[in-house]
C-alpha cells in the first residue's frame, strides 16, 4: 500500500499534464488538419503571417496559390490560419 501512495503524486502529475497540455494540443492539431483538408478554391483566407487573400488553386502536394493585392503567391496549406480564416468567412451576427 505504501508503494502505491508513493507513486500516486507522479501518476496525478501525468494525469494533469495529459488533461491540460497534451489532449488540447492534439485536439487543436486535428482541427487544423481538418481545416487544411476542407479549404476549397475561392475561399478567403489569412495566412499565419497575416496576409489576406483568396485561394485560386489547390495542389496535391500540399501547396496552394493565393491571390493577394500584391499578386499571386504560393503557400503551404499549413501556413493558413484556421481561426482568422474562419472569422473572415463567418462574421459574427449583428444584433
Q: Enter the pTM of the model.
A: 0.65
Q: What is the pLDDT of residue 23?
A: 92
Q: How far is the C-alpha of 9 from the C-alpha of 5, rounded, in Å?
A: 8
Q: Which three cell numbers stand for residue 57?
A: 488553386
- For 62-89, letters b (16+ CB in 10 Å) and e give eebbbeeeeeeeebebeebbbeebeeee
Give just the sign of the alpha carbon dihedral 14, 12, 27, 78. negative
Sorted by sequence, the CB contacts under 8 Å of residue 63 that are 6+ apart come out as 74, 75, 76, 77
Helix (H, G, I), strand (E, B) or coil at 27: helix
What value does the mean pLDDT of the chain take?
87
Percent of the residues in the chain that have a pLDDT greater than 70, as a whole number = 95
pLDDT in tens, 5-44: 888 889 999 999 999 999 999 998 898 888 888 888 988 8
Amino acid at each position: 500500500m505504501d508503494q502505491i501512495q508513493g507513486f500516486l503524486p507522479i501518476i496525478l502529475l501525468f494525469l494533469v499534464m495529459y488533461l491540460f497540455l497534451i489532449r488540447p494540443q492534439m485536439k487543436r492539431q486535428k482541427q487544423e488538419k481538418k481545416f487544411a483538408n476542407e479549404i476549397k478554391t475561392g475561399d478567403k483566407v489569412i495566412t499565419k503571417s497575416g496576409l489576406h487573400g483568396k485561394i485560386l488553386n489547390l495542389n496535391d502536394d500540399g501547396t496552394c496559390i493565393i491571390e493577394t493585392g500584391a499578386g499571386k503567391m504560393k503557400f503551404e496549406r499549413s501556413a493558413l490560419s484556421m481561426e482568422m480564416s474562419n472569422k473572415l468567412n463567418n462574421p459574427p451576427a449583428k444584433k
